[in-house]
Amino acid sequence: MTGGAIAASVPASIEARGWGWRHGGRSVPAVSGLDLRVDPGERVLLLGASGAGKSTLLHGLAGVLGGDDEGESLGELTVDGRPASAARGRSGLVLQDPDSQIVMARLGDDVAFGLENLGVPTDEIWGRVGAALEAVGLRLPLDHSTSALSGGQRQRLALAGVLAMRPGLILLDEPTANLDPEGVHEVRDAVARVADDTGATLVVIEHRVSVWMPVVDRVVVLGHGGVLADGSPDAVLVGQAAPLRAAGVWLPSDVPWRARRSTARDVEPLMAAHRLDVARVPRVPVQRGLDLRIDTGRITAITGPNGAGKSTLALTMAGLLRPDGGRLEPGAPMAGARGDEPWRWRSRDLLTRIGTVFQHPEHQFLTGSVLAELEVGPRALKMSAGERRERIAPLLAALRLEALTSANPFTLSGGEKRRLSVATVLATRPRMLVLDEPTFGQDANTWRELARLIADLRDDGVGIIAVTHDETFVDAVADNRFALGVVGDAAMTDAAARGRSQAGGASA
Amino acid sequence: MSIATVRPDLPLATINPVAKVAATIPLSIGLVLTLDPVSAGVAILCELIVFTAVGLGPLLWSPRTLPVWIAAPLTGISMVLYGAPSGTTYWQFGLIEVSDGSIAIGLATMTRVIAIALPAVVLFLTIDPTDFADGLAQTLRLPARFVLGALAALRLVGSSIDDWRTLALARRARGVADRGVIRRSLGQAFALLVLAIRRGGILATAMESRGFGAPGARTWARRATFGAPEWRVIAVGCLVAVVSVSAAILAGSWNLVWS
C-alpha cells in the first residue's frame, strides 16, 4: 500500500521566462526578469539574501500568490508547461511557521483535508492518508490531537498533508527555521525519504545550508537581478562563497563570528535563584528546585529540549512570572525597587533593572513607528525630550535603524524586527538582559550583528540570560550553559568547555 | 486546547450534531410562547430524566453547567425585584416592588432559563466542532468554504489565548503596565487582532496551497449520516416539548405572552 500510494506521482518540471511579481501597493517588484528551468526530479536548494524574492517564487510556483487584485505578474511561470496558478494540486507547499499550518483538530483529518479539496473519492482517501503518515514517520492514531504535536511533528504533518495529494513538485519555505535541532533532523530526514520514494521535484529555501546538503543536487542563488549562481552544490558553495556570505547564507561549518572570552574580573551577582520552582500556569510547575546565579559581565545560555521550561525560567528570572516555589534574590545592582521580590516590582522599576526581549518581536511592539517604539521606555522613566534623543540616536546607528524611524514596526523584515526589539530594551539601559531565542530563524548577517552586540553589552558589565537552541551561539558567544533536562536534572557548566581550549571558571 | 476536543466516548457523541441542535428547538419555541412555572418546571424534570437515562447525568452536575445554575437565579431575582407588580405587595423601595405577580414572573423566568440553557450546554459538550462542521456542510448543505473556514479559525483560538498572556507579560516588561488598565487592554486587544490576522493569513495560504477553494466538487473524508438514531433524538426533543406544554395547559397556567 505504502509504495503504491506514494509512488504514483509524476515529477513536475518548472520554467520561469522573464517572470516577475509586484505585490499590490509596492512600487518595487519582489522578483523581476527571472529565467529558470528545473527538470523533473531535480532537488533544488534556493538561496539568496532576504528580499531577493525566494518566498515569492515559491508561492508563485504553488499558485497561491493571488489574482490581479493582490499584485501584478509579468512574464511566464509554468509547472509542466501550464501556468503555475492553474496547476494547483500538482505542487504542495510547506511553510515556516509550525503553528499556523494545521487546519483540522485530528491528525488524520488534517492529512485528508487536501484530498477532500481535490475531490478524491472517500473510499480512496483513508488509504492515502495512512500511506502519507507512514512516509513521514508519524506513527500516531488518526484521531490524535494535532495541538498535542511538537514543532517537528507539526512540520512532518504538514509534509504528509502535501504528500497525500501526490504532488509532482514539493515546495518547502524554510521548513526547519523555527525548530529545535531534533526537529530539524526529523523533518530533513522525512523530506529526504519522501523525495527518494516519490521522485518528486523538490525546491527548498533555507538559510542553514549544511542541513540540506545531503538532500539536494542543485543550488540556485537568487539576487535582485535574477539568478546569481546555479549549479552543483559544491561548485556553487565554493565558487560563490564570498557573495553568499555577504547575502547572509550560512555555509557549511561556518561560524559567522566568535566572541572573546569575558574579561570582566569583578563580577557581582545580579539575580540568584534558590530552589526555584517555575510555572507558566500557577501550581503547575514545569521545573522544580533550580539553583542558578546570573552575574554582571557574563552570558548564560539556558538550553534544553522543547517543553523543558526554558522560557518559563527566563521569564521568572526577569520578574514577569511569579515563582511557584523557592526564592529569587536580587543582587546589589538591583537595589532601589520596591521590595525584594522581582515579580512584585513596578513595571517601571523593571526598565532600568531587567530588560526582556521576547521570542516573537511582535508581542512587544506597542506603537506605530520605530521612533515611537524606542521612546516608550525613556518616556515611562519621564526623561526629557533631549535625554530621550541622546539615548536613542546611538541605538539607531548601532542597530542600523536610522532609515526606518517612521516605518511601522509590524511591516519590518524579520531581522529588522529583531534588531528593533533589542534596541527598545537597551534604550533604558537595564543591568540584566533576558533574551528568548535571540538568533532564532535569523540569517548569518543578523546573527553576527546580534552576537557582537550581546558580547559588547557583556563587556560593559550587563548580565545576560539567553534562552537558545542554537548550539553555534552557545559555543561562540555564551560564557556559561545552564542545561534544563527532565525535572530536577538541571546543571550549570562552562559553555566554552567543548568549543574553546582555554578553560575559564564558571561564574555560578 | 480543550476548546476543540470532545471525549469521543460520551453518550450521543456519535449523533449528527445537526440533530442535537434541532432537538432543542421545539422546547425553546414552546417555552418562549408562555411565561409560567409549570411548563418550564416539567421541562427541567424531563431533561434531568432523559439525560440521566442516556448516561449524561455526570455532565448535568459538572462545573461546565455551573454558569447556568448561577445565571438563572440571578435573572429570576431581577424579575422578582423589577417585574410588573400585581396582587399583594410585600416590599417596596424606589423602583423595586416585590409582589405576588413579580414573584411568579421571577420563578417562571428562572425555570425558563434553566430549561432552555441546560440541554443546550449539555448537548454542546458532546459536540465535536469537526463533526458539527461536517453536519452543517453535508446534512444542511451550507457552503463548505464558509463552514471549513470557520472550523479552521478555531485552530487559532488556542494560539490567541497564549498570545494574550505573552502580550500582558511583554507590556509589563516594557514599563507601561503600572497605570491605565483600560487603555492598555484596548491596545493589547488591538495587538492580539494584528497577530490573529497575520496567523490567519498564513493559515489561509496553507489551506489554499492544499486546494481549498479550487474549482470542482469537494469530497468528504468523514460521512455525516442522518438516520434513525438522529430522528429518535429529535423525537425525544419534540416529546419533551409536548409534555411540558400539555402539562401547563392542563394545570391552567398556560398564558401566551402577548395575550
Q: Render pLDDT for B175-188 as a digit per residue (tens, 0 to 9).
A: 999 888 888 899 89
Q: Do B221 and A125 touch (CB under 8 A)?
A: yes
What CA–CA distance (Å, rounded) separates A244 from A253?
Answer: 14
| Nearest by CB: A377 against B167, B174, B202 | B174
Note the maximum CA span of chain A.
72
One domain for residues A179 and A273 = no
C-beta atoms of A380 and B222 within 8 A: no
Say if residues B128 and B154 touch (Cβ distance below 8 Å): no
The pLDDT value recorded for residue A1 is 38
A183 and A103 Cβ atoms separated by less than 8 Å: no
Q: Which of B2, B132, B145, B210 would best serve as a mutation to test chain A binding (most A beta carbons within 10 A)?
A: B210
Q: Inter-chain contact A116–B219, Cβ cutoff 8 Å? A: yes
Top mean-pLDDT range of A65-74, A180-189, A313-322, B1-10: A313-322
Q: For residue A351, name the pLDDT band (cuts at 50, 70, 90).
A: very high
Nearest Cβ partner of A103 from B155, B165, B187? B155
**Which residue type, as a one-letter code, is found at position A504?**
G
CB < 8 Å to A97, chain B: 199, 202
pLDDT in tens, B94-138: 888 899 889 999 999 999 999 999 999 999 889 988 999 999 999
> What CA–CA distance (Å, rounded) separates B248 from B259?
16
| C-alpha to C-alpha distance for A478 and B226, rounded to whole angstroms | 63
CA distance between the termini of chain B: 48
Lowest mean pLDDT among A248-262, B39-53, B195-209: A248-262
Give the pLDDT score at A317: 97
Give the ipTM: 0.85
pLDDT of residue B20 exceeding 50: yes
How many residue contacts between A and B have a Cβ separation below 8 Å?
A: 170
Beta bridge partners of A218: A44
The answer to whether position A67 is within a domain reads yes
Express each pLDDT in B51-73 by its tens digit: 999 999 888 888 888 999 999 99
A123 interfaces chain B, CB cutoff of 8 Å: no
Least confident of A63-72, B51-60, B148-157: A63-72
Q: pLDDT, tens digit, for every residue of A219-229?
A: 999 887 788 88
Q: Which residues of B touch A101 (CB under 8 A)?
A: 202-203, 206
Rounded CA gap, A292 and A308, in Å?
Answer: 16
* Contacts with A, B 91-150, CB within 8 Å: 128-130, 148
Q: Does B206 touch chain A (CB under 8 A)?
A: yes
Q: How close B226 gets to chain A, by Cα (Å)?
A: 17
A94 found inside a domain: yes
Q: Do B170 and A114 touch (CB under 8 A)?
A: no
Q: Judged by CB atoms within 8 Å, which residues 392-411 of A form the interface with B?
A: 410
Range of the domain at A304: 269-353+430-499
The answer for A 197-256 residues in CB contact with B (under 8 A) is none
Domain locations along chain B: 16-131+226-251, 143-209
- CB contacts of B218 in chain A (<8 Å) are 116-117, 119
DSSP conformation class of A402: G
Helix (H) or strand (E) holding A367: none
**A187 and A330 assigned to the same domain:** no
- What are the φ/ψ torsions at residue A68 (nearest 5 degrees)? -65, -25
Residue A88: DSSP 8-state? B
Q: What CATH number did the domain enclosing A464 receive?
A: 3.40.50.300
Selecting from A119, A380, A410 the residue whose C-beta is nearest the C-beta of B219 gives A119
Averaged over B136-151, what is the pLDDT?
92
Lowest mean pLDDT among A135-139, A436-440, A499-503: A499-503
Give the residue on B whose Cα is nearest the Cα of A170.
B209
Q: How would residue A320 be classed by pLDDT, with cut points 50, 70 and 90?
A: very high
Q: How far is B7 from chain A (nearest CA, A)?
A: 11
B195 vs A contacts (CB less than 8 Å): 362-363
Sign of CA dihedral A245, A250, A253, A254: positive
Selected residues 214-253 of chain B with any CB under 8 Å from a CB in chain A: 214, 216-223
Interface membership of B185 toward A (CB under 8 Å): no
Please state, in angstroms and rounded to a whole number, the distance separating the CA atoms of residues A84 and A72.
15
Query: Measured between beta carbons, which residues in chain A are less than 8 angstroms from residue B151?
Result: 104
CB contact under 8 A, B198 and A362: yes
- Cell 578553560, located at residue: A503
The pLDDT > 70 percentage for chain B reads: 97
Q: Do A7 and A93 have their domain in common?
A: yes
Confirm whether A180 is domain-assigned: yes
Burial degree of A453 (CB within 10 A; 0-12, 13-18, 19+): middle
Residue A342 lies inside a defined structural domain of this protein: yes
Query: What mean pLDDT value characterizes chain A?
Result: 88
Q: How confident is the model at residue A503 (pLDDT cuts 50, 70, 90)?
A: very low
Q: Is the pLDDT of residue A507 over 50?
A: no
The pLDDT score that the predictor gives to residue A417 is: 92
Contact A100 B159 (CB under 8 A): yes
Burial of A26 (0-12, 13-18, 19+ CB in 10 A): exposed
Residues A233 and A308 in one domain: no
Is A385 part of a structural domain of the chain? no
- Per the structure, the count of domains in chain A is 2
Mean pLDDT, range A253-260, rounded to an integer: 84
**Which of A246, A277, A292 delimits the end of a domain?**
A246
Across the interface, whether the CB atoms of B211 and A347 are under 8 A apart is answered no
| pLDDT tens column, A488-500 | 556 677 664 443 3
pLDDT score recorded for residue A489 = 58
CB distance from A36 to chain B under 8 Å? no
State the DSSP code for A217: S
- Most confidently modeled of B8-12, B156-160, B243-247? B243-247
pLDDT at B2: 41
Q: Are residues A306 and A223 in the same domain?
A: no
Residue of B163, B174, B202, B207 to mutate, testing the A interface (most A Cβ within 10 Å of its Cβ): B174
Instruction: Using an 8 Å CB-CB cutoff, list chain A residues near B169.
Output: 315, 320-321, 356, 358
The alpha-carbon gap from B157 to the nearest alpha carbon of chain A, in Å, equals 11
- DSSP percent split of chain A into helix, strand, coil, nearest 5: 35, 25, 40
* A114 contacts B173? CB cut-off 8 A: no
The pLDDT value given to residue A504: 36
Report the C-alpha gap between B128 and B20 in whole angstroms: 12
Q: Do B167 and A93 touch (CB under 8 A)?
A: no
Residue whose C-alpha is closest to residue B123's, from B51, B75, B179, B186 = B51
Q: What percent of chain A has pLDDT over 70?
A: 94
Shared domain for A189 and A274, answered yes or no, is: no
Q: Mutation test of the interface with chain A: which of B3, B178, B209, B223, choosing the one with the most A Cβ atoms within 10 A? A: B209
Predicted local confidence at residue A181, as pLDDT: 83
Does an H or E element contain B120, and which?
A: helix B100-125
One domain for residues A203 and A324: no
In this structure, are A186 and A311 located in the same domain? no
- pLDDT at A393 exceeding the cut of 70: yes
Cβ contact B174–A347 (<8 Å) = yes
Among B152, B175, B221, beta carbon nearest to A347: B175
Answer whether residue A205 is part of any domain.
Answer: yes
A70 CB within 8 Å of a chain B CB: no
Nearest residue in B to A105, CA atom: B4
